[in-house]
Every structure is written in C-alpha cells, then in structure tokens.
C-alpha cells in the first residue's frame, strides 16, 4: 500500500488499536547452519511489523525451536510442521527450512491453523515469501493482476486496498484450535470482502467463502462453492475436506466419507480430515471405527482438542468412563474455554456415577456460555442425579427456553417434573416432546408410562400402540398394552401382546395370564 493510500485508509477507518501476535520460528538444522540465521529471523519480524503495523498488527518472537521437515512438497512440509509443533502456545508458528521444495523459494500457509512454512535453499532470499504467507494467515488471498503482496508469483511489498481491508478485519483473529479464526460478528463482513475478491481469486476466495458458509449454517452454499473449486482444480485437498463437512451436515454421510478418504489418500498427515472422518463414522453408527479414527487423529496430533473432546463423548457412551474423563480433561488442558469439552467431561462423570463432581463443571459451563442450551441441560442432568429435582426442573426449563425445538429437552423437563412430583406439568412436557419427535421410541415410552401411572388408561393404550409400532422388540410395552386391552375387553388383542411380551423375555404376571385364559375359555363356550 502506498503511503498516501495507507493514510487515506487509516483516516477513513480510524487507526486500529495495535495487537501483539506471538510468533514461534521453527527452524531446521540446515537453516540453523547459516551464520546469520538469527539475524535473518529478527529482520523477518521487523519487516512484518513495518508492513502490517498500519493495520494494527505487531509481532513478537515467542521462541525459536528446531523441527525436522518431512516430505518433498510444501504441503507435506506444512503437515509435518503442524504435527511437530502442536504443543506451541496460541499464535503463529513459522517453519523455515533450508530444504528445497521446488524451484526457488516456496511457501505455504494454513489459514485455520495459523502455521506457515517457507522452504528457502541456501543463500536464497526468503523474507518476502515469509511476509506473503503471513498475509495468508491473516486472510489475504491471491489476486490476479496484482503486483504487490497479493500476487500469486513474485510477490512484492505493496498492499492493495482489498488486502488491506482483509488484514484489518483479521487483526483480532482467533488462534484457538477449536474455533474458526473469525468470530461470528466478523463473518458477514468477511463474506462481503471475499465476494468482492472472487473475480480475481476464483479458488482461494471461494474456498474461504465455503468455510464461512459452514460457520453461518449454510452447508448447501458451501457444497456448491467446493464443487466449483473442484471443477477448476480437481483433487484440491482443502476443497475436498470442506466439501466432506458440507455433505455430512446435509446428511449425505457416505459421500462425506468418500471425500475424507480421498483427502487422506493424497495427504495422510491431514489430521483434520481424519477428525472429520471420525465424525461421519459416528453419525453412521459405526462407533468402533469412529473411536479408532479419533484415536489415530490424537496419535498424530496429541493436542487436537476437538478430537479429544469427541473421543471423550463416545467413550462415555460406551461405558469407558475412566478413558472418557481423561480425554475430556486433556482437551480442557489444551483449550480451557472449550465448553463442548467441559460438557463431555460432565457426561463422563455422570456415566461414572459421580454427579457431585459433574455439578460444578456443569455450572462452570453455564457461566461460560449462559445462552447455550446444552450447558443448562448438563446442569439439569447433574442436579437430577443428585436428587435435587426442583433445581433440575429449573435448569431444564432454561434449556427449553433457549432451544424450544429440541424434543429431548422437553423430555428431560418431563423427567425432572416427575421426580419432583409435578405430574400434570410433566405430562405436558412429555406430550410436547412426542409432538416434536413423533418417531422417537424413548420419548413415546416415557409418555405412555406416565399416562399409565396417572390413570389415563385410554391415552396410555394408544400411546403403547404407537410405542410397539416404533419399537416392536419392547417386551414391557407389549405387556402393558396387553393388560390395557384386556381391561377394555379386547381378549384376542391382549393374548397377542401377552405372547409377544413373553417371546421377548418379559415375565408376564401369572394372575393376569390366568384371567386371560379364563376369559378365553368363557368366550369359547356356547
């Protein structure tokens, strides 16, 4: 950006408050062997601050570490850098190697991971490529026709207006491993800027638009964008990965699996693709395969907090509560503000029968995310397990108020009201749950049992009819329906469901069977 353009931009928007961003330089032995390598690193930071300072960005050297580059391409170098520097604190990690990854100095950046790699053979100038890749970490994209920092080849120092606005928007970008770089309020402005960039950056801008569409809950839009990219660049790994996420969110799980598997064939070190693969396997009900995929993702990247969190949830549901608690606590040690991991810790503690430990964790989740229905739900579950039904009712009511369309929350509210002795409002909650999820057998069962317990026999009979249609293997439901039908005079129906109950291992009461046999015998007499 020229001096007059920078001045005009700052006068129009106001000088942004400076933000200090820590940078870890990971240098390989071949780069360290250069006599002036440390001076080169310090000059690289100084040049970055000079160029990005007008946009509110300052950089400090957090550490210099050694890494061992693997693979012959910049893509493989970047994967190796990510895995070897997973334990670094939030900020940017820049891998500098003296290895060759193609002609000249080559670089590549990961926008989401805030990592970049520069392959600079001996005596090659590399600081210009470092600046260029650093701009990508802060949202810049290649723009056809530009000759400055945004140029796809031989980038210079000039910063065009569009790139400047992208850098300024990303001044407060996030570096947490479980969060999208931009917060929710910045998504619409970012989409507008990348939309403006599309004509000159048809692949990179479109890929970022696809990721933003996912964050804004528009998987169909993301899928269309990825298909457009893959039409231009077949096999693009990043587009395949985002496409898989979009397909998964659209319910096209088998296609999502194919996308992730293609990514892993091309780049086995892509931990995020393995993580996404595990999610799809879980959604398909392939829980053992999902657990194994999460474990492999964690083995590749021990500090992948989302993989640890999801692994904790699956392990808790499988009854492996010790491993579940360990995984959830590891996720929280990496990302203390990761509420989903805290909720999975609550799930693990409840599954282990330790509600007294689960309650404070759930309360902390509510404090951290008071508008998150799942946090209130977790607190309600802990309170209910502790026998504090009225407090649990209040928590579940808060959850329902935040997410009234979630049938399971109405079901939990009904359970808490039953435990507190409030049967009439409990019935209303169960009815709402069934209305919102008419094909859910567990919710149908809860309503049928409550109808029966409160003496609403006609309603109970119809509820059990719906339940055995949904869950024919439910012997208890067949048994209860048999008794209700018998009391209504439907002897044949009672016999049919009594036999169905016995076939499913339910011990039907002998006195009822005797009454049923007597009624059948009486009906056969002339």
pLDDT per residue as tens digits for the range 143-185: 998 888 988 877 888 899 999 999 999 999 999 877 899 999 9
Ramachandran category for residue 117: left, alpha or beta (phi over 0 → left; psi -120 to 50 → alpha)? beta
pLDDT per residue as tens digits for the range 102-133: 777 789 999 988 999 998 887 778 888 999 99
pLDDT per residue as tens digits for the range 251-292: 999 999 999 999 999 988 888 999 999 999 999 999 999 999
**Between 2.60.40.2470, 3.40.1390.10, 3.30.2270.10, 3.40.390.10, what CATH number should domain 1-175 receive?**
3.40.390.10
Q: pLDDT band at residue 1, thresholds of 50, 70 and 90? A: very low
Give just the sign of the alpha carbon dihedral 154, 158, 160, 163. positive
Q: pLDDT band at residue 525, thresholds of 50, 70 and 90? A: low
pLDDT of residue 16: 63
Q: How many angstroms separate the CA atoms of 133 and 92, rounded? A: 11
> Is a pLDDT exceeding 80 seen at residue 364?
yes
Selection from 70, 2, 84 nearest residue 301 by Cα: 84
Work out the mean pLDDT of the chain and round it to a whole number.
91
Q: What are phi and psi of 421, to 5 degrees?
A: 80, 15
pLDDT per residue as tens digits for the range 432-466: 999 999 999 999 999 999 999 999 999 999 999 99
Longest alpha-carbon distance in the chain: 112
Q: Are strands 57-66 and 115-119 parallel, antiparallel or unpaired?
A: unpaired
* Average pLDDT over every residue of 358-374: 97
pLDDT of residue 229: 96
pLDDT of residue 15: 54
pLDDT of residue 35: 86
User: Helices then strands (H, E): number in the chain?
Assistant: 26, 5
* Portion of the chain with pLDDT greater than 70, in percent: 96
Domain ranges of the chain: 1-175, 462-526
pLDDT of residue 147: 86
8 A C-beta contact, residue 243 and residue 223: yes
pLDDT per residue as tens digits for the range 190-242: 999 999 999 999 999 999 999 999 999 999 999 999 999 999 999 999 999 99
Selection from 21, 1, 19, 20 nearest residue 10 by Cα: 1
> Is a pLDDT exceeding 70 seen at residue 521?
yes
pLDDT of residue 321: 96
Taking only Cα atoms into account, the Rg of the chain, rounded to an integer number of angstroms, comes to: 30
pLDDT per residue as tens digits for the range 83-101: 788 767 789 999 999 887 7
The number of angstroms, rounded, from the C-alpha of 78 to the middle of its chain's C-alpha atoms is 23
Distances (CA, A) of 66 to 25, 38, 91, 270, 503: 8, 13, 17, 22, 67
Rounded-to-10 torsion of CA 443, 446, 451, 454: -150
The runs of H, that is alpha helices, within 420-474 are 423-436, 441-453, 457-470
* Average pLDDT over every residue of 421-437: 96
């Amino acid at each position: 950006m020229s001096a007059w353009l920078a001045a005009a931009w700052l006068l129009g928007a106001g000088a942004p408050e400076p933000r200090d961003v820590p940078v870890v330089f990971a240098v390989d032995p071949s780069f360290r062997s250069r006599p002036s390598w440390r001076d080169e690193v310090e000059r690289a930071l100084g040049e970055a601050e000079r160029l990005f300072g007008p946009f509110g960005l300052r950089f400090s050297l957090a550490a210099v570490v050694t890494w061992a580059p693997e693979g012959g391409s910049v893509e493989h170098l970047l994967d190796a850098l990510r895995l070897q520097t997973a334990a670094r604190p939030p900020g940017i990690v820049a891998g500098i190697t003296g290895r060759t990854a193609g002609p000249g100095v080559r670089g590549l950046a990961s926008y989401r991971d805030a990592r970049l790699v520069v392959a600079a053979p001996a005596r090659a100038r590399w600081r210009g490529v470092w600046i260029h890749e650093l701009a990508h970490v802060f949202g810049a994209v290649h723009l056809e026709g530009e000759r400055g920092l945004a140029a796809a080849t031989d980038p210079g120092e000039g910063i065009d207006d569009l790139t400047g606005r992208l850098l300024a928007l990303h001044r407060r970008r996030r570096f947490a491993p479980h969060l999208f770089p931009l917060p929710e309020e910045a998504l619409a402005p970012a989409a507008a800027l990348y939309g403006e960039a599309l004509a000159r950056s048809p692949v990179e801008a479109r890929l970022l638009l696809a990721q933003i569409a996912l964050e804004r809950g528009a998987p169909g839009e993301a899928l269309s964008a990825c298909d457009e990219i893959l039409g231009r660049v077949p096999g693009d790994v990043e587009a395949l990965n985002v496409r898989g996420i979009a397909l998964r969110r659209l319910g096209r799980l088998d296609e999502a699996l194919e996308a992730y598997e293609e990514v892993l064939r091309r780049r086995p070190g892509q931990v995020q693709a393995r993580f996404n693969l595990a999610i799809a396997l879980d959604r398909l009900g392939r829980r053992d395969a999902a657990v194994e995929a999460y474990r492999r993702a964690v083995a590749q990247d021990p500090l992948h907090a989302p993989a640890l969190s999801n692994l904790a949830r699956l392990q808790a549901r499988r009854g492996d509560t010790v491993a579940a608690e360990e995984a959830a606590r590891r996720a929280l040690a990496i990302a203390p503000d990761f509420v989903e991991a805290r909720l999975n810790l609550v799930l693990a503690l409840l599954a282990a029968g330790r509600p007294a430990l689960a309650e404070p964790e759930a309360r902390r989740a509510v404090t951290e995310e008071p508008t998150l229905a799942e946090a209130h739900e977790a607190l309600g579950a802990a309170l209910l397990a502790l026998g504090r039904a009225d407090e649990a009712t209040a928590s579940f009511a808060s959850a329902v108020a935040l997410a009234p369309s979630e049938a399971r929350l109405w079901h939990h509210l009904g359970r808490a009201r039953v435990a507190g002795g409030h049967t009439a409002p409990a019935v209303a909650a169960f009815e709402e749950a069934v209305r919102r999820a008419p094909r859910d057998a567990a919710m149908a069962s809860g309503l049928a049992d409550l109808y029966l317990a409160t003496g609403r026999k006609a309603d109970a009979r119809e509820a059990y009819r719906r339940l055995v249609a949904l869950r024919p293997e439910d012997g208890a439901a067949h048994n209860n329906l048999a008794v209700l039908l018998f009391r209504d005079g439907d002897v044949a129906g009672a016999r049919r469901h009594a036999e169905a109950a016995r076939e499913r291992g339910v011990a039907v009461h002998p006195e009822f069977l005797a009454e049923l046999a007597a009624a059948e015998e009486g009906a056969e007499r002339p």
